[in-house]
């Protein structure tokens, strides 16, 4: 077995290779500048970031562990090893190093995301005591096959019933509108089956920074439905196109549970898809759903989405 050593990962020396490995493992484009921005944003909570290399100095892989923003006793992490360098001890050393540091930092709960089409990755985690917490399935829509015309009558009927279909751009993307978007997004995310009722953000200010001020945030792609009779924000569907991606990504579609069963989710998502086709000019749209979110999965199947590989969230309680 080859000699493997661990050393602290370096911003200028390693982040180009780390970005390539992230892109390969997650099937999502990750750029070196973007990864550096992510590091700077979270570095105060990063408890470990080590590179594994062989005796020739070739980078084999890395670990990256970050404390949760919500609970200092919880950390999520990555361990990624070059495919051709696996089963030679690098992953084992990187994990042992990470767990030791986590215990020293008094972390009680470790969490990792693993592609559901990588059985060897899951086996690696299970051998170290991790169990499945949740499963996010992937979905993709071929825009060439998507026909939105059948939904025109449905949307018109809802408009006649007093529902305003609009966007954050049309509303001026004001702070008041952002506060309403935050309240709706936060509530519907908590109500999503399988979400465990957890808040996705710490506060409105956190939402404003993480979402409204993010470079991927497109006000015109934040579709909302307002009940003009009451003024309630009833539904939303957010879509964007990340830098370097050749597809759009549907971030979240949600309906206030008081308004469910009226086809609002389907209708507002259709408008988001029209925006993806006409403005973002993409040929495909991707999204993920918690496997327990059966109603939203059914809507996507009706719209023409097909299932693709997804992600297991796995956890371990440390003694």
| C-beta atoms surrounding 73 within 10 Å | 12
Q: Which of residues 29 and 240 earns the better pLDDT score?
A: 240
Q: Are residues 179 and 249 in the same domain?
A: yes
Q: Are residues 191 and 86 in the same domain?
A: no
Residue 115 resides in a domain = no
- Condensed to tens digits (0 to 9), the pLDDT of residues 288-300 reads 999 999 999 999 9
Residue 30 clears pLDDT 90, i.e. is over it: no
Residue 121 resides in a domain = no
pLDDT for position 96: 96
pLDDT, mean over the chain: 94
Q: Residue 245: give the domain boundaries.
A: 139-312
Q: How far apart are CA 202 and CA 15, in angstroms?
A: 29
pLDDT confidence tier of residue 243, bands split at 50, 70 and 90: confident
Q: Are residues 300 and 161 in the same domain?
A: yes
Q: Are residues 103 and 158 in the same domain?
A: no
- Among 161-170, 195-204, 307-316, the minimum mean pLDDT is found in 195-204
Contact (CB, 8 A) for 236 and 184: yes
Is the pTM higher than 0.85? The answer reads: yes
The CATH number of the domain where 80 resides is what? 3.40.630.30
Contact (CB, 8 A) for 221 and 278: no
Q: What is the DSSP string of 8-32?
A: E--HHHHHHHHHHHHHHHHTS---H
What's phi and psi for 43, nearest 5 deg?
Answer: -60, -25
What's phi and psi for 32, nearest 5 deg?
Answer: -60, -45
Q: Are residues 22 and 170 in the same domain?
A: no
Residue 183 resides in a domain = yes
Task: Specify the number of domains making up the chain.
Answer: 2
pLDDT for position 190: 92
- Among 27-31, 165-169, 313-317, the minimum mean pLDDT is found in 27-31
Q: Are residues 192 and 285 in the same domain?
A: yes
Percent of the chain with pLDDT over 90: 86
pLDDT confidence tier of residue 1, bands split at 50, 70 and 90: low
- Condensed to tens digits (0 to 9), the pLDDT of residues 54-88 reads 888 899 999 999 999 999 999 999 999 998 888 88
Q: Are residues 83 and 162 in the same domain?
A: no
- Condensed to tens digits (0 to 9), the pLDDT of residues 171-206 reads 999 999 999 999 999 999 998 887 777 899 999 999
């Amino acid at each position: 077995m080859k000699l493997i050593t661990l050393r602290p990962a370096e911003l200028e020396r390693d982040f180009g290779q780390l970005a390539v490995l992230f892109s390969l493992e997650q099937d999502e484009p990750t750029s070196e500048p973007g990864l550096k921005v992510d590091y700077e944003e979270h570095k105060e909570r990063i408890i470990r970031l080590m590179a594994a290399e062989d005796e020739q100095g070739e980078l084999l892989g890395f670990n990256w562990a970050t404390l949760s923003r919500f609970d200092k006793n919880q950390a999520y992490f990555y361990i990624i090893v070059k495919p051709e360098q696996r089963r030679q001890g690098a992953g084992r050393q990187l994990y042992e190093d990470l767990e030791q540091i986590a215990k020293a930092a008094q972390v009680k709960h470790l969490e990792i995301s693993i592609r559901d089409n990588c059985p060897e990755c899951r086996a690696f985690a299970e051998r170290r005591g991790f169990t499945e917490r949740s499963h996010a399935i992937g979905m993709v829509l071929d825009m060439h096959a998507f026909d939105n015309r059948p939904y025109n009558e449905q949307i018109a009927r809802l408009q006649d019933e007093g529902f305003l279909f609009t966007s954050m751009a049309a509303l001026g993307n004001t702070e008041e509108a952002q506060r309403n978007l935050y309240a709706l997004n936060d509530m519907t995310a908590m109500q999503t089956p399988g979400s465990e009722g957890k808040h996705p953000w710490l506060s409105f200010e956190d939402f404003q920074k993480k979402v409204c001020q993010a470079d991927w945030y497109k006000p015109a792609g934040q579709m909302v439905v307002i009940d003009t009779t009451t003024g309630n924000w009833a539904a939303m569907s957010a879509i964007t196109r990340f830098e370097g991606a050749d597809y759009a990504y549907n971030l979240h579609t949600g309906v206030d549970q008081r308004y469910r069963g009226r086809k609002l989710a389907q209708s507002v998502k259709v408008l988001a898809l029209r925006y993806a086709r006409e403005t973002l000019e993409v040929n495909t749209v991707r999204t993920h759903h918690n496997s327990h979110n059966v109603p939203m999965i059914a809507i996507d199947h009706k719209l023409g989405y097909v299932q693709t590989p997804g992600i297991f969230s796995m956890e371990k309680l440390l003694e």
